[in-house]
Amino acid sequence: MKILKRVSLAVMVVALMGAPANAQRHSPRASAAPAETMPLTLTGAIAMPHVQGRIDHFALGPEGTIFISALGNNTEEVIDLAAGIVAHAIPGIPRPQGVAYVPEVKEIFVGSDEGKLYIFDAQSYAQVTTIDFGDDVDNLRYDPASKHVYVGYGDGAIAMVDVTNNQRLPKEFKLGAHPESFQLEKSGPNIYVNLPGLKQIAAINRDSGSITRWSIKEESNFPMALDEADHRLFVVTREPARLLVVDTRFGHVVSTLPCVQDSDDLYYDAPRKRIYAAGGEGYISVFQQEDPDHYRLLAKVPSRLGGRTAGYWGKLGKGFDRFYLAIPARADHEAEVLIYTIQD
């Protein structure tokens, strides 16, 4: 699974530079650029004092809540954004990873590193059922059109669960290596999947079952985001740390840029044509799309060491447009969610 790389001494020195004397003890390091010029501005934090260990993926929940998989804590955290608190913690999930909320049935689906998919009622948080996939249930995606939750698991498959009856479907897509992040087309049949074990990106046609494979030179391609309108797939690798922009019509890499190290979540902001990559190195890489073939690094937004998973869903309701970043507990600070406000 995803192993956090050792941060170099040089990076730790940089992380300690630039903080004013009266800054809060655990605030992200200050940037040389004025705050008003940054595309993300730190505007809040939500403490998770009981959470220990690694933190994995996010999902948007109902009525101003988000779900965060506290992998090292064996809990699914329910965050009330309006109140700024942990509203509930669902215990007893061995190493939770991917999470998806299905509003039509008001259920939460949580993948476990032990190989099971846990399903909970989103109002009572009572466990509804589990489905045993045998090994390493990781990323999850929900498709409202088909009413299917797609499940990446084991040593190389994506399966489907019908949310109307919580039954695993017999059809699945065999990939030959563990699937990391994957994205579903809304207007087309394709699923795009990162296969770091093979140094490949797979394009699965859900209708025909055919699989097209695109090889890449870089290694450890974990996070992924999709610009479906422009036929562009964004992938971040760790060895070396790069953002790859792939043309989904031909599988060609059209642009490659240096990126934050140890990234595990990546988001595309379609209205602003921006890409946000959270990285454990201690900052967020923000890229600007000039056109589908040309991109530039817009900013390196300070965060904290270990902040490698995040959540972004655009503007929620009438509130501000915000980006949420998980920071794991360390010896000198407790776990928390940093809240960044998007700047135009």
192-231 pLDDT, tens digit each: 999 999 999 999 999 999 999 999 999 999 999 999 999 9
Which amino acid is residue 308, in one-letter code? R
Q: Name the more confident of 25 and 300.
A: 300
Residue 28 has a pLDDT of 61
Please check the confidence at residue 4 and state whether its pLDDT lies above 60: no
- Please write the tens of the pLDDT for every residue from 100-121: 999 999 999 999 999 999 999 9
**What is the set of domains in the chain, with CATH numbers?**
56-342 (2.130.10.10)
Mean pLDDT of 52-68: 97
Residues 6+ apart with CB under 8 A from 138: 1, 97, 98, 111, 113, 152, 153, 178, 179, 180
| 227: amino acid identity, one letter | D
pLDDT, one tens digit per residue, over 131-177 is 999 999 999 999 999 999 999 999 999 999 999 999 999 999 999 99
The answer to whether the beta carbons of residues 323 and 283 sit under 8 Å apart is no
Q: What is the pLDDT of residue 93?
A: 98
pLDDT value at residue 317:
79
Average of per-residue pLDDT across 262-279: 98
pLDDT at 37: 81
Mean pLDDT of 277-293: 98
Q: Cα–Cα distance between 60 and 81 in angstroms, integer? A: 11
CA 252 to CA 295: how far, in whole Å? 16
With 70 as the cut, is the pLDDT of residue 16 above it? no
What string of H, E and C letters represents the secondary structure of the chain? CCCCCCCCHHHHHHHHCCCCCCCCCCCCCCCCCCHHHCCEEEEEEEEECCCCCCCCCEEECCCCEEEEEEHHHCEEEEEECCCCEEEEEECCCCCEEEEEEECCCCEEEEEECCCEEEEEECCCCCEEEEEECCCCEEEEEEECCCCEEEEEECCCEEEEEECCCCEECCCCEECCCCCCCEEECCCCCEEEEEEHHHCEEEEEECCCCCEEEEECCCEEEEEEEEECCCCEEEEEEEECEEEEEEECCCCEEEEEEECCCCEEEEEEECCCCEEEEEECCCEEEEEEEEECCEEEEEEEEECCCCCCEEEEEEECCCCCEEEEEEECCECCECEEEEEEEECC
- What are the distances in angstroms from CA 308 to CA 107, 276, 280, 342? 26, 11, 4, 18
Mean pLDDT of 29-39: 59
What pTM was estimated for this model as a whole? Answer: 0.90
200, 215 Cβ separation under 8 angstroms: yes
